[in-house]
Amino acid sequence: MTIPFENLSIHCGERISMNLELIFNKLVRSKRGGWCLESNYLFGWVLRAMGFNATTLGASVYSSILNAYFPGENHLINRVIVDGKAYITDVSFGVSSQVWEPLELISEKDQPQAAGVFCLTNNGDMWVLEKSSRKPVVMNPDFAKSTLVNRKEKYVLYRFTLTHQTNIWVIKMTASNKPVLTLHQQIHLLFANTHRVQSSGGMDLQ
């Protein structure tokens, strides 16, 4: 089966829980899609249940609008060891930057995939994931010089450490609709001051 990226629960007023059983019911039994936190959390559990040495990690997504990383950790990924090599898996990063295959955890190595060329860079304690886009092909010469053509060659997606993630975060929308994120022992996600999301067990990510 395939599980698509889906954030409908946020917009439809549904409660989002990081309880593993509830996530399994939603994504597997009900055949729904999952938000990045849900899908990667579930995938980490699947890897460990299959006997893989997998660790769930927290990541901070880069905002191209703010030209800065969102504060705190607002994304989940998994590190898995296969045949002595470490890989990063991310089964639920939305829009056009999906990581379709595991990325070898090695610094400054281009790793081509169908979605583009990905590269991990180790900056001391922090790892950064970037994506290089394919060169745009503009068929209409009159449009070739338009500012609407995306000529940016490399994008920063997110950064992360290799520290096992046992604490998650707070996300709430302020009156200006700008997200404010801080680290917390449980997940409390507040959207537009009306939609509350809390963890209710199943938080052992080891």
CA distance 126 to 106: 13
Catalytic residue among 11, 12, 83, 90: 90
Catalytic residue among 75, 110, 184, 195: 75
Tell me if residue 83 is catalytic.
Answer: no
Contacts of 80 (CB under 8 A, 6+ apart): 47, 52, 53, 54, 55, 86, 87, 89, 102
Tokens, residue 139: 């068929």
Question: Largest Cα–Cα distance of the chain, in whole Å?
Answer: 58
Q: How is the beta sheet containing 168-173 ordered, strand by strand?
A: 179-184, 168-173, 188-191, 195-198
Tell me if residue 164 is catalytic.
Answer: no
Tell me if residue 75 is catalytic.
Answer: yes
Catalytic site positions: 36, 75, 90
